[in-house]
Structure 1
């Protein structure tokens, strides 16, 4: 039979239960919420919350409700570095936008998808949309092709979704990935949507492993004729970003 917790251990268990309630909540919790949900006396809850505030494990907002403390924010910054990567990359994205005028993106692999972590808008009235909330098939995206080519994403299954009749099948995609590795930039034309094209180049970390893809998207009518020049420009700017990331201690997997 398990022994009953001592007084000190019981206090730790109760404090941990309060932290668990705060961190798992979808919104800040009031003192009353925490008392009710934990089943603790108000005096006990108050005493424990004061100690948790003092140690940075919870934090009280202006209206008195409780959220996770600064230690959780620090942990997130250290172990989820992509916001820091996006901050460092901003000048490079802006430089790319100034050179080509198109929408500029920075994407990373998460599971089997591409996640956009930064974007600079196009200077054209006719331009690509905001990609931050778009869930596009990776094989239809220039960012995805780069991340496939350099091993950041697992290769897609045999049967691929075909949004347009220009979408590559798996054998065509695999052949194109060899070309992406050779020239170090990827191109898509009308593969996700007719009239939409994109280009991207790999961004590396400290150990020469690709950690992200820098790309642009815009109308096929503009990008098709300039794809080689834009692709080579992206390679240069991606190398510049690689250099910036290698000097940052929070720049992401393989970059520190």
Structure 2
């Protein structure tokens, strides 16, 4: 085992001991439990503390750091969002019969966090864990248009012949989305698949999520304007509900 790997394993052991302990753990307790040299424990604890993985309580004992708090808070927010959004998703699903998704930004992509399934056999697809380039997705286009995720720097991958060809085309599309209030795709990720999506704003007025409807082109073609108006209306209602919750 290399020195670097050994250091990582030892740091992970210290971190695990602190995180799983019912109360804050002292430096002496960590030395005694691990059997590591005091200098090694001191060095590793300092590194973990410096990177926000651990912090000290007023007595100097160690507990989980700000990074864990941030992580937990972020996912608590997502769970709260899903709980509030569910009736809005279901109402869209009842009206359209199509698959309805709630997506949130994560890094430079979009993650599906809730779904109402299509009542049709053709079109009943789970989008959880499906990796869709944002520029080929109605949800992703919404996130780009309202600055929820950063614009791509390099060439855009072409999933189909209908995919946006380059950054200039994407920028023109995003301007159109901001004017209309919703995004649409038609065969851009997969031939025969259409979608529309609209932004969901938080109490701060920023876009934190998007609601999208997707289904086969033969059902959705020619219905984008009507679907867009529906999704915008429900997204705005959800945004108002989130604003009241603060």
Provide TM-score, normalisation by structure 1.
Answer: 0.69
CA distance in 1, matches of 2:96, 2:125: 16
CA contact (8 A) 1:128 1:196 kept: no
In the other structure, the counterpart of 2:205 is 208
Provide, for residues 74-119 of structure 1, a one-character-per-residue CA deviation record: whole Å limited to 9, x for no partner.
Answer: 8755343101111111000000100111100011111111011111
The alignment status of 1:126 with 2:148, answered yes or no, reads no
In the other structure, the counterpart of 1:183 is 180
The alignment status of 1:231 with 2:228, answered yes or no, reads yes
Aligned length: 196
Provide, for residues 113-137 of structure 1, a one-character-per-residue CA deviation record: whole Å limited to 9, x for no partner.
Answer: 1011111100111115211111110
Q: How does 1:116-195 map to 2 (within 5 A)?
A: 116-169=112-165, 170-195=167-192
CA distance in 1, matches of 2:227, 2:181: 12
What is the CA RMSD across the aligned residues, in angstroms? Answer: 2.8
CA distance in 1, matches of 2:72, 2:89: 22
CA distance in 1, matches of 2:68, 2:156: 39
CA distance in 2, matches of 1:165, 1:180: 21
SS of alignment partner, residue 225 of structure 1: coil
- How far 1:244 sits from its partner (Å)? 1.7
SS of alignment partner, residue 203 of structure 1: strand
Q: Alpha carbons of 1:23 and 1:197: their partners in 2 closer, same or farther (altered >3 Å)?
A: farther
In the other structure, the counterpart of 1:115 is 111
Q: Which structure 2 segments of 5+ residues have no match?
A: 1-12, 21-29, 37-63
CA distance in 2, matches of 1:74, 1:143: 28
Q: Alpha carbons of 1:129 and 1:160: their partners in 2 closer, same or farther (altered >3 Å)?
A: same
CA distance in 2, matches of 1:79, 1:228: 34
Q: Which structure 1 segments of 5+ residues have no match?
A: 1-16, 25-33, 41-68, 249-255
CA distance in 2, matches of 1:177, 1:102: 24
Divergent runs of 4+, >6 A? 72-75
